[in-house]
Amino acid sequence: MERDRVLKIGREVFRVEAEEILKSLDLLDDSFASAVETILDSSGKVVICGMGKSGIIGRKISATLSSTGTPSFFLHPAEAYHGDLGMVEPDDTVILISNSGETDEVLKIIPFLKSQNSKTISITNNSLSTLAKNTDIHLYLGVTKEACPLQLAPTTSTTLTLVMGDALAVALMELREFKDIDFAQFHPGGSLGRRLITKVEDVMSQNNLPTAQPHTGIKEVIEIVSSGKKGLVAILKDEKLFGVITDGDIRRAMEGREQEFFSLKAEDIMTLQPKRVELGEKLIKAEELMTHHRINTLFVVQDENLVGIIELYDLGR
């Protein structure tokens, strides 16, 4: 295999598609704003319909809309013509995708949509096509070159269709003031959703926590750090979190205070005011603290009493 040739081909595909996307920026006009406004004003769902490769892209656009605050579903045009049109209600907005604008299966469902006054938006690469002329709003892609060297396989055109769908979804997100917590509600099984919804007490370690007192001898401190398997020990004073000693603190004390090392107490090498998070906080708060302070372990407290420990891997990133 000629690696240089392969890399040249791959880079050319990137170049062609990137240039086509940038050229299409100038083609985005009031029709796009009208499409967003139509969807915002609708009390129904957004129905995406497309055949073949357009259908595959349509499924992704529908999924993106649904996960970002705009209820949507994909409708296969062939299935729609054989009964599934009953899924489309008058208040729904229907987005019809066809690169040529002449896809027979897509055109066949237009009379039904007109009969129930559904709002329709088309995405095509032909503003003079039958589909473009028979929908309320037309979004023109403006593709001049496919990345396919034969100019046959949908490549640039499907990419631009996807970008158009993403642009719609992001504009709707912004106008709906869709927040990360909203995103988490739709993605409870995802990593982000888990951190935004889950509370620290749901994942923290709370049994056999490694703790010591300020007067605890260094030898016992080492034993506690070792048996606790957290790489540290929490120093408590009057049952309140007071300080912390990490295995790094112990190593530094061994190197810098070798002569007196075994006579040291916990209070001699501990760090005061260790980083902590309150019981009841979301996991995302713990992540923010760990990231900001560049630490891998965080104490969980309630009224300054130590109730748990969270480690970086508990975040599930």
> What pLDDT, in 10s, does the model give residues 24-83?
998 999 999 999 999 999 999 999 999 999 999 999 999 999 888 888 999 999 888 777
- For residue 260, count other CB atoms closer than 10 A to its CB: 10
| 151 and 220 both lie in a single domain | no
- Of 146, 178, 210, which marks where a domain is finished? 178
- 286 occurs within a structural domain: yes
Q: According to the model, what pLDDT value does residue 182 have? A: 59
The secondary structure of 223-251 as a DSSP string is HHHHHHTSSEEEEEETTEEEEEEEHHHHH
Q: According to the model, what pLDDT value does residue 295 have? A: 86
Q: According to the model, what pLDDT value does residue 309 have? A: 92
CA angle 67, 73, 78 (to 5 degrees): 150
pLDDT < 70: residue spans in the chain: 1, 180-197, 316-317
Q: How far apart are CA 150 and CA 232, in angstroms?
A: 63
**pTM score > 0.75 for this model?**
no
> Torsion over CA of 178, 183, 185 and 187, rounded to 10 degrees?
160
Number of domains in the chain: 2
Which strands make up the sheet holding 72-75, listed edge to edge?
A: 72-75, 46-50, 93-97, 119-124, 137-140
| 213 and 292 both lie in a single domain | yes
- 293 occurs within a structural domain: yes
Residue type at 147? A
Q: How far apart are CA 264 and CA 303, in angstroms?
A: 30
Q: According to the model, what pLDDT value does residue 191 have? A: 53
User: Max Cα separation, the chain?
Assistant: 92
The dihedrals phi and psi of 32, each to the nearest 5 degrees, come to: -65, -45
Mean pLDDT across the chain, nearest whole number? 89
| 9 and 42 both lie in a single domain | yes
Q: Give the residue from 143, 172, 167 showing the smallest Cα distance to 41.
A: 172
| 49 and 152 both lie in a single domain | yes
Q: Is 259 exposed, middle or buried (0-12, 13-18, 19+ CB in 10 A)?
A: exposed
| 28 and 125 both lie in a single domain | yes
| 240 and 163 both lie in a single domain | no
- Of 123, 144, 178, which marks where a domain is finished? 178
C-alpha torsion sign, points 11, 63, 286, 233: negative
| 85 and 215 both lie in a single domain | no
Q: How far apart are CA 119 and CA 159, in angstroms?
A: 25
- 213 occurs within a structural domain: yes
Q: How far apart are CA 95 and CA 102, in angstroms?
A: 15
Length of the chain (residues): 317
- Of 178, 209, 227, which marks where a domain is finished? 178
Domain extent at residue 273: 200-315
Half-sphere exposure of 238 (CA within 13 A, CB side): 2
| 169 and 204 both lie in a single domain | no
CB 119 within 8 A of CB 135: no
Q: According to the model, what pLDDT value does residue 267 have? A: 93
Q: According to the model, what pLDDT value does residue 140 have? A: 96
Q: According to the model, what pLDDT value does residue 47 have? A: 95
Q: Give the residue from 87, 85, 107 showing the smallest Cα distance to 97.
A: 107
The dihedrals phi and psi of 248, each to the nearest 5 degrees, come to: -65, -40
- 192 occurs within a structural domain: no
Q: What is the pLDDT of residues 156-177, one digit of tens each?
A: 999 999 999 999 999 998 888 8
- 38 occurs within a structural domain: yes
Helix, coil or strand: residue 305: strand
